[in-house]
Amino acid sequence: MVLAILLLLLMIYMIYVSARSLVKNHQGDLNIVWYFFSLSVTATALLGMLAIQIGAIDKAGQSHGKAGDILAAILTFFIDLKSDVVLAAALISLVLVPQILTYLLSGLFGCAKNLFFVEGSVAFFVWFVVKSFAVASGVGIAFAIVGMVNGWPHAELAVGLALIAVCLFLLVFAFSFLSFYRNTVGWVRGVKEATPAIVIAFAQKVRRFMIRNKQPA
């Protein structure tokens, strides 16, 4: 029990530290993450209570019947983080990889075309991952609380608190990942400004070669 409480307090502190880094310049980001989290907590808690009332979940926390199967499928969908990350990566790859290949192949003939939606694709990936972790955190916490309140055998107080702490770590990751992305954007811009002139000149030379036969729009 003591270990579970200490772990919970540690996660709360880590959330404070990771979220605080967004307060100065990205308060809108902070609001969005908290909204996804709050929405998932509220929706899962209401759905769990409804499922108990209609018998889709029994006193042991086990799902029953078609309604129970649907509920289990919904919960699994929202906490399947691996599939979410793979899906997000696949979607941006579908947008960017063909463009990169097209640029390289067309560049051999001197008619390369600039890439589109690069920053937008990266932002989409980041927000898709952040949303997934924030929602999974809220779902897990709400379900743990519902289990503790209803006295489910696998949701004793110590176990429930430990589960909540683990779910809070997902929220820590969401804030940290988003903060890393925001800081990286500024870092990349700084690197561009600090790039030696000879490197910039070489890059421009390569680009001129890739578009040497490109006709004016």
| Residue range 13-19: mean pLDDT, rounded | 89
pLDDT at 185 over 80: no
What string of H, E and C letters represents the secondary structure of the chain? CHHHHHHHHHHHHHHHHHHHCCCCCCHHHHHHHHHHHHHHHHHHHHHHHHHHHCCCECCCCCECHHHHHHHHHHHHHHHCHHHHHHHHHHHHHHHHHHHHHHHHHHHCCCCCCCCCCHHHHHHHHHHHHHHHHHHHHHHHHHHHHHHHHCCCCCCCHHHHHHHHHHHHHHHHHHHHHHHHHHHHHHHHHHHHHHCCHHHHHHHHHHHHHHCCCCCCC
For residue 89, the enclosing domain spans: 2-210
Token couple for 116: 């589109």
Query: Is residue 109 domain-resident?
Result: yes
Query: Is residue 29 domain-resident?
Result: yes
Structural domains in the chain (count): 1
Query: Is residue 50 domain-resident?
Result: yes
Query: Is residue 215 domain-resident?
Result: no
Between CA 149 and CA 151 the distance in angstroms is 6
Query: Is residue 216 domain-resident?
Result: no
Instruction: Using pLDDT thresholds of 50, 70 and 90, give the confidence band for residue 190.
Output: low
Q: Which of 32-36, 121-125, 135-139, 170-174 has the lowest mean pLDDT?
A: 121-125
Give per-residue pLDDT as tens, 35-74.
999 999 999 999 888 888 888 888 777 877 887 788 888 8
- pLDDT value of position 189: 63
pLDDT at 205 over 70: yes
- pLDDT value of position 161: 87
Query: Is residue 125 domain-resident?
Result: yes
Between CA 148 and CA 157 the distance in angstroms is 6
Give per-residue pLDDT as tens, 158-173.
788 888 999 999 999 9
- pLDDT value of position 139: 94
The residue ranking higher by pLDDT, 104 or 67, is 104
- pLDDT value of position 192: 64
